[in-house]
Amino acid sequence: MFAKTNNTVYLNCVSAFPQKDTTHIISDVLQNQYVKQSRFNQDVKQTLFTKPRIKEKSTLEFLEFLASDIYKIKSPIEDLKELNKNLLKLEDNWDGQGAMSISPIVYQKCFDFLNNYYNFIKDTFNIVIALPEISPTPDGNLDILWRNNNSRLLIHINENSAVYYGDQLAGINSIKGQIEIENVQEFLATWMLKLG
């Protein structure tokens, strides 16, 4: 059985490149926004470009190769989680003012939340959202922040819920409230799209 992320790449490729030969698919896949934000297994990169037999495969055989367990593509959210794993090493009083350490539960819920929205937006709008900044807070929770020149969205994740605030151009069209972590809210996903 294919891993979920690999299966997603496979299905996307089948729909996007049905009429192209393997050589063109290699080029197109590497330009795909989802793939470009992922981290490739270096051995697989080498296989793609150094083994002529790969290019001799039929289109379907090649797409199956892309989706196989050999072809390891990580979600950008997985990469972001890995990049921020040092947050779990913070000890109590990490800020010198009594801040609490980050619990593994909050850490996991933060990235589950991001993964849910990332997949919803990709599947619904065919858009890969920008990756946010992740910051620890003194209460032992995590902040997720997107911002650009026009908008910003801050989501505070704790064990039970998420508190959000967003605005455009210094307070215009602001939103704020509290939501459950597990369920995707389309209005919030729409806000994330503005920050791509």
Q: What value does the CA radius of gyration of the chain take, rounded to a whole number of Å?
A: 20
- Residues of the chain above pLDDT 70, percent: 61
Give the integer Cα–Cα distance in Å for 142 and 110.
7
Tell me what pLDDT residue 76 has. 86
Q: Is a pLDDT exceeding 90 seen at residue 24?
A: no
pLDDT at residue 144, as a whole number: 97
Quick: pLDDT tens for 55-79: 455 555 655 555 554 444 567 888 8
- Smallest CA-to-CA distance from 84 within 103, 111, 105 is with 111
Range 156-177 burial, b when 16+ CB lie within 10 A, else e: bbbeeebebebbeeeeeeeeee
The answer to whether the Cα torsion of 30, 31, 33, 38 is positive or negative is positive
Q: What is the pLDDT of residue 169?
A: 74
User: What mean pLDDT, rounded, does the chain reach?
Assistant: 76
Per-residue pLDDT, 179: 94
Choose between 172 and 122: higher pLDDT.
Answer: 122
pTM: 0.66
Question: Which amino acid, one-letter code, is at 189?
Answer: A
pLDDT tens readout for residues 118-136? 999 988 988 888 899 999 9
Q: What is the pLDDT of residue 116?
A: 94
Instruction: Give the pLDDT band of residue 100 (cuts 50, 70, 90).
Output: very high
Q: CA nearest 176: which of 146, 149, 158, 153? A: 153
Distance CA 176, CA 141 (A): 18
Q: Identify the band that residue 48 occupies on the pLDDT scale cut at 50, 70 and 90.
A: low
Helices (H) and strands (E) in the chain, counts: 9, 5
Does residue 47 surpass a pLDDT of 70? no
Sheet holding 133-136, edge to edge: 133-136, 142-147, 151-157, 162-168, 172-179
Residues 8, 148: Cα–Cα separation, whole Å: 29
pLDDT-based confidence at 185, cuts 50/70/90? very high
Question: What pLDDT does residue 149 have?
Answer: 87
* C-alpha span between 184 and 179 (Å, rounded): 9
